Amino acid sequence: MSMAANFSSLDDNISQSSVVSYIQSQKGKPLLVLDNCIFKLNKTTITTKYWTCTCIECSMKVHTNVNDQLVKIIGEHCHPTEQELIHVREFRAKVKQRAIDETTPIPRIYDEDRARGMLSNVVIALLPSKREINNAVNKAHRVVIPTIPITQLFDFPDVYTKTLRTNSYFVSLTFPCVFGLLPNRHKNTYSLLFHELRNVALQMKPDFSPKIIMSDFESGLASAAKSEFSTAKHSSCYFHFSQAVYRNIQQLGLGSMYNDDDNVKSFCRKLMTLPLLPEIVIEDAYDDVVGNFSPDIRTVINDLLEYFQRQWFLKVPTSQWCVHGLCIRTNNNAEAFHSRFNRRVQIHYPNIWSFIKFLQAEESRFHHIHIQFSSGLGARIQKPKTIAIQHRIENLTERYNESYKRYGIFRWSITCSC
């Protein structure tokens, strides 16, 4: 936060090498730094600022104009320079400013700035400890951060209702994404969110009629999406489907058999690849897979069969977990955002003001990415393994559609490809 400049001499007492910079006191007042000594502002007139040395015994004075340019130096110092003390003040000011601007924990800010500063041993010895600096920094932080609300009804300061580009959050202009702060995961809550999005869409005049909705298997969201967007195809994430099946395999104690028995592994993987088949053949394919196993194997996997039939045929309709023909079969983009956002927040329960600051930063990030894409930035290159699997699935799907293979062979090929 220091501003430095070399100024041409307007007085014989001013050296050509004199450099003026500015730092802040602990109370936020400006301090002038000249030749490694600190001056405080004594008084100000229409044309001139008068500075006196912070050392009480020193009679040296400095005059600057209203543009903070050095005008005159009076007297000499009667004490050693204060270079180390200046570094300490600069350190305190940086920590305090970061605490005001960021939501990073103060101890982490302290450690980062101390390591980044490459400070001398003398300066390190003079630095306040984390405990000593914590109260002052917290006090500065509380001055600019509103009081944490204790009820669900509270006023939002204006700065927290806008993005970093001063666009309104709640009256919407253009967004690359929507942030929804919801109290629960009930159907009515999601329906209310979709209703608000429709109202925003009417104001912005876009075509808010999604053809495909991809989400996880949250029942409240699925019900709301079906009611609000009756013409859209709602598919659930293929990764979450496979993950749920595998977790149940582990919970039923089949993990060792999955790893050691090829027959059990083959059956489990075929279950996981059923969503890649056309919806009309999924149940027949399931019956075919189960019918090909011996009674002994069926006894071992009986609990898994009961789980699959109960969860994926009775509770969740096949139309929801079938991803055949879809270019995007997972909601990994949303999951990756959640993971990245959680890493940046760093704490499990941030207060409302810290959380909104993170949202403002994320909106700014999306805005920058949107501009970069508009300027020709390409999508992230997929891993070779991902590309190879996608090509295999596409080839097998094309062969199936052309009736080159029966669905049983298609299913087996898919299992070998994934």
The answer to whether residue 358 is domain-embedded is no
Question: Which residues span the domain enclosing 125?
Answer: 85-144
The answer to whether residue 113 is domain-embedded is yes
pLDDT at 109: 86
Whether residue 316 sits in one domain with residue 228: no
Q: Is 60 exceeded by the pLDDT of residue 309? A: yes
The answer to whether residue 342 is domain-embedded is no
Question: Tell me, what CATH number does 22's domain have?
Answer: 2.20.25.240
pLDDT tens readout for residues 91-128 = 888 888 888 777 777 888 888 888 887 888 888 888 88
The answer to whether residue 150 is domain-embedded is no
- For the chain, what percent of residues have pLDDT higher than 70? 84
The answer to whether residue 191 is domain-embedded is yes
pLDDT at 416: 47
Whether residue 290 sits in one domain with residue 412: yes
Contact 279, 322 (CB under 8 A): yes
Whether residue 51 sits in one domain with residue 140: no
The answer to whether residue 377 is domain-embedded is no
Single residue among 94, 111, 144 that ends a domain in this structure: 144
Whether residue 207 sits in one domain with residue 105: no
CA torsion angle 92 94 97 98 (round to 10): -120
pLDDT tens readout for residues 20-44 = 888 888 777 888 988 888 899 999 9
Q: Is 90 exceeded by the pLDDT of residue 318? A: yes
Banded model confidence at residue 265, pLDDT cuts 50, 70, 90? confident
**pTM listed for this prediction:** 0.58
| H/E stretch holding 258 | helix 255-260
| H/E stretch holding 112 | helix 106-116
If you average pLDDT over residues 318-323, what whole number do you get?
Answer: 92
Whether residue 405 sits in one domain with residue 262: yes
Domain count across the chain:
4
Whether residue 259 sits in one domain with residue 216: no
pLDDT at 162: 66
Whether residue 269 sits in one domain with residue 172: no
Whether residue 260 sits in one domain with residue 272: yes
Whether residue 411 sits in one domain with residue 303: yes
If you average pLDDT over residues 405-412, what whole number do you get?
Answer: 50
pLDDT tens readout for residues 145-172 = 777 777 767 676 776 666 665 554 443 3
Q: According to the per-residue pLDDT averaged within each range, which of 198-202, 206-210, 408-412 is highest?
A: 198-202
Whether residue 272 sits in one domain with residue 295: yes
pLDDT at 238: 92
Number of H helices, E strands in the chain: 17, 9
Whether residue 270 sits in one domain with residue 318: yes
pLDDT at 186: 92
b or e along 257-274 (b: 16 or more beta carbons within 10 Å of the residue's beta carbon)?
Answer: bbeeeeebebbbbbbbbb
Single residue among 234, 252, 269 that ends a domain in this structure: 234
Single residue among 234, 258, 285 that ends a domain in this structure: 234
Whether residue 91 sits in one domain with residue 76: no
The answer to whether residue 247 is domain-embedded is yes
